[in-house]
Amino acid sequence: MDYQMLVNRDHKLEKEIYENEIVPNIIAVKTKKNNDVVFRVFGIKDKKTYLEKKTAEKFGEFQKFAKKNGIIIDITSGYLSFEQQNKKYNYFIEKGGKEWADKSSCPAGYSEHNTGLAMDFDIFLNGRWGGIALDKNGNTNEKAKWLHKHLHEFGFILRYPEGKENITKMKFEPWHIRYVGEETAKYIYENNLTLEEYYEQKI
């Protein structure tokens, strides 16, 4: 597995990563309603979250670290097949139009969720999920900001950071993280880079 692979609107994942390379994540899944609405919408198989094995293990460590510091985190979305990704992308188009959808999602093959290395996570705060989301003033929860500062210690990066939208071509998403390995994550964090900028330096 290439943990530093670049997948974005300009770099397509040419072949699908098959499920035998993805392991069920042991962490409970946060869903919107009746425990299955998210799955019905995006067609996630068996109502389980799947991740690449090492990515799942490192997120488990990150979750335990967060809990020791009084923060409960969970996964809302992990690996998606090409078929599932297209369902998600088309759902976004139906909901808000293509221009709006393109700020939040990508067609199959162009999404990091197709790799098994990326996920969306959330914080349980004040008795409900949604503590990581932006509030009406565009602010991210302080606990989420604290978690962002520690992501690299477990090999993760905040994939679509604020102020880098013109580079990632995605809106700021404080919930979307990506596993790249500890050494790479530390370099990206300490140099305030996106994965795109990291690749430009490597070339």
Instruction: Name the residues annotated as catalytic.
Output: 173
Query: What DSSP string runs through 97-149?
Result: -HHHHTTT---TTSSGGGTTSEEEEEEEETTEE-TTS--TTSPPPHHHHHHHT
Tokens of 65: 């670290």
For 132, 145, 168, the CA distances from 141, given in Å and listed in that order, are 5, 7, 22
Which residue carries 């008795």 as its tokens?
127
- The rounded distance, in Å, linking the Cα atoms of 140 and 87 is 28
Q: CB of 32 within 8 A of CB of 85?
A: no
Q: CB of 46 within 8 A of CB of 143?
A: no
- The rounded distance, in Å, linking the Cα atoms of 74 and 131 is 11
